Structure 1
Amino acid sequence: MPNDADLLLLAGPQVEKLLTPGDVLEAVREAFVLHSQRQGRVFPVVRERLDTGGVFGIKSGDVQAQGLLGFKAAGFWPANRTRGGEPHQATIMLFDPATGRPTCLIDGNAITTARTGAAGVLGVQQLARPDSACLCIFGTGVQARVQLGLALDLMPAIREVHYVTSRRVPDPAFEAVFAQRCRLLHAKDPDAAVAASDIVITATPGGGALFVAEAVRPGTHVNAVGADTKGKRELPEGLLARARVFVDDREQSRQIGEGQWYETLDVIEIGDLLTRKAQVSRKTEDITVFDMTGLALQDLTVARMLQRRATEAGCGARIPWPW
């Protein structure tokens, strides 16, 4: 048996140096296209609550024609904040599908943040009105900052941003990041902020509805980021029934996304927009929602891109992994 094989290890700082928004966006677009073409498979999601207070999950999948196989083990440990650590933790492993041998082990935190941001970009790009001038964002954490920053890059017409915090108090650190990019207003009334906005982004832990359905005006687009586990939600009852709903994966939305709160829901997968399997003409008055539960294929295409870049650059650590 071969005994000269090795395993590439990429730690968080190395991943962050190799990640570029453009490359991540292309990798995520590829993931959605592969999913639409049924070349990429996503396997059933594992998502379980732990006695420690954390949530542990596994997302896995493959692209058989490309020899891509792997999983991401990830979850949310809120108590990490008291230890000075990041509550979201993720690790990605890629395998050789011909032998089952692991080829690359990667810190998945930055990948998760970046690929979720890229998915949000595609949602806004495909579904928001081009003349959108006002945006409302719920949350001020890492993902909220990524979502807002990329939306501002994509939509130069956005001049005003209302942000909503969980404690209803301003966040000076968040304001400092975006003060030079837009007119930033802390919103004390979430419903009024939503009603004033053309785009709404919800990037919270998904603890419950963040606003009332009636606050959403015709023509609004909503990126819903936070619902990724049974029992989680950010959107109010009745909103999806009024909207044209788009998802990254139909089954995941029904099981762990916003779709879990509806017995029946007509949805379109975002990949089908990119491949034009679905022809959608957005009317000015349409309310659109993109329910983002996160695909294993997003993690795998980004991880493969990083593996290739690290190999070309000679970075990362390689350890013997005989088999």
Structure 2
Amino acid sequence: MLVVAEREIAGLMTPEAAYDAIEAVFAAMAKDQAYNFPVVREAIGHEDALYGFKGGFDGAALTLGLKAGGYWPQNQKHGLINHQSTVFLFDADTGRVAAAVGGNLLTALRTAAASAVSIRYLAPKGAKVLGMIGAGHQSAFQMHAAARVHGFEKVIGWNPHPEMLTRLADTATELGLPFEAVDLPTLGAEADVIISITSAFSPLLLDAHVTGTTHIAAMGTDTKGKQELDPALVARARLFTDEVAQSVAIGEFQHAVAQGLIAEEAITQIGAVVNGIHPGRGDAALTIFDGTGVGLQDLAVAQAVVKLAQAKGLAQKVEI
């Protein structure tokens, strides 16, 4: 078995490589060449933690495995980030364990790459203003990934805890973009592309907030009950996701479906747009991508980083 330690990931996996891996796996999913296994995600009753497993099999790339881990909201007291995970890969031919890969940075990179795929294919033409809802750990990755696929001229942002907005301001400065802190009605009215990346359990961005031609990448909802968007906002949009079944079960669209505002059939896999099977936003004024975070994303970036680690001699071999 090969081991790629968490400390090695930053020097191996680039945002560009993450983007390529995620775009490819979305395309394979839409062609029915890759599929995800049912997600296990549970509150364990300790430290307010959510723990679970996401796995799948990509028949095109012969990638098989799972990610184990979750969300520990009290980790600041331990000097750790809230998301903790490890990816395990298995030989698709024999079933033997092939690799264990640190999954913390990879989770942030693959989540950002997923929203970037949606922005590349669904952003309105001439989009200039990027709106950020949320200023947590993953927000910087999201902003960097978005800027790589589209030429934004300004970033505006909101966070429930305003003191954290310095992270967004600093990231925008790194990208050479002006930043302005705004309220949610202003963000919804002025942003051409909006990324929401929070752990909210009630809607933050309301239907009345979004008034123009907009694309929203809703990246925070990955558990039953979580919610960032007003269901009425979802109901008037053209809808896309990584995986439809997961979106309606634990993703952002679960609420609009439960309220009977949309049908499951109204949701399209983003891979169909990547493959050219679906036209994308077309004439829609509003598009929403529900990034629920599927296991195949984790496997794709983990497989990519294992190959990079082998090429650089940084993959440790362990006999089990």
Q: Which residue of 2 aligns with 1:113?
A: 108
Instruction: Please give the per-residue CA displacement for 1:198-236, whole angstroms capped at 9, x wherever unaligned.
Output: 111101113321122111123111000000000001001
**C-alpha separation in 2, matches of 1:301 and 1:24:** 8
Q: Is the alpha carbon distance of 1:173 and 1:268 closer, same or farther for their aligned partners in structure 2, counting shifts above 3 Å?
A: closer
Q: How many residues align?
A: 312
Q: Mapping of 1:157-306 within 5 angstroms?
A: 158-169=152-163, 171-179=165-173, 181-187=176-182, 189-263=183-257, 264-265=262-263, 266-280=266-280, 282-283=282-283, 286-306=285-305
**C-alpha separation in 2, matches of 1:252 and 1:268:** 12
Instruction: Please give the per-residue CA displacement for 1:47-93, whole angstroms capped at 9, x wherever unaligned.
Output: 11110110012111112354321000121000111221111001000
Q: Secondary structure at the match of 1:258?
A: coil
Q: Which residue of 2 aligns with 1:134?
A: 129
Q: Which residue of 1 aligns with 2:65?
A: 70
2:144 to 146, 149, 167: 149
Q: Which residue of 1 aligns with 2:52?
A: 57
User: Which AA in structure 2 matches 1:36?
Assistant: A
Deviation of 1:281 (Å)? 5.3
Q: Which residue of 2 aligns with 1:4?
A: none
Q: Which residue of 2 aligns with 1:18?
A: 12
Instruction: Please give the per-residue CA displacement for 1:220-276, whole angstroms capped at 9, x wherever unaligned.
Output: 110000000000010013011110010110000000001111234311110011112
Residues 14, 316 of structure 1: 8 Å contact kept: no
Q: Is the alpha carbon distance of 1:153 and 1:45 closer, same or farther for their aligned partners in structure 2, counting shifts above 3 Å?
A: same
**C-alpha separation in 2, matches of 1:151 and 1:65:** 27
Q: Which residue of 1 aligns with 2:87?
A: 92
Residues 196, 218 of structure 2: 8 Å contact kept: yes
Q: Which residue of 2 aligns with 1:313?
A: 312
Whose radius of gyration is greater, 1 or 2?
1
Q: Is the alpha carbon distance of 1:109 and 1:205 closer, same or farther for their aligned partners in structure 2, counting shifts above 3 Å?
A: same
Stretches of structure 2 that go unaligned for 5 or more consecutive residues are: none
Stretches of structure 1 that go unaligned for 5 or more consecutive residues are: 1-6
Q: So what's the TM-score if we normalise by structure 1?
A: 0.92
User: Which AA in structure 2 matches 1:298?
Assistant: Q
Deviation of 1:12 (Å)? 0.9
Q: Is the alpha carbon distance of 1:70 and 1:192 closer, same or farther for their aligned partners in structure 2, counting shifts above 3 Å?
A: same
Deviation of 1:194 (Å)? 1.4
User: Which AA in structure 2 matches 1:211?
Assistant: L
Q: Which residue of 2 aligns with 1:3?
A: none
What's the Cα RMSD here? 1.6
Deviation of 1:145 (Å)? 0.9
**C-alpha separation in 2, matches of 1:70 and 1:214:** 42
Instruction: Please give the per-residue CA displacement for 1:103-155, whole angstroms capped at 9, x wherever unaligned.
Output: 10000011111111111111111111131111210111221111112222322
**C-alpha separation in 1, matches of 2:21 and 2:293:** 14
Residues 241, 268 of structure 2: 8 Å contact kept: yes
Q: Secondary structure at the match of 1:62?
A: strand
Residues 143, 171 of structure 2: 8 Å contact kept: no
Q: So what's the TM-score if we normalise by structure 2?
A: 0.93
User: Which AA in structure 1 matches 2:194?
Assistant: V
Q: Is the alpha carbon distance of 1:169 and 1:190 closer, same or farther for their aligned partners in structure 2, counting shifts above 3 Å?
A: farther
Deviation of 1:163 (Å)? 0.9
User: Which AA in structure 2 matches 1:243?
Assistant: A
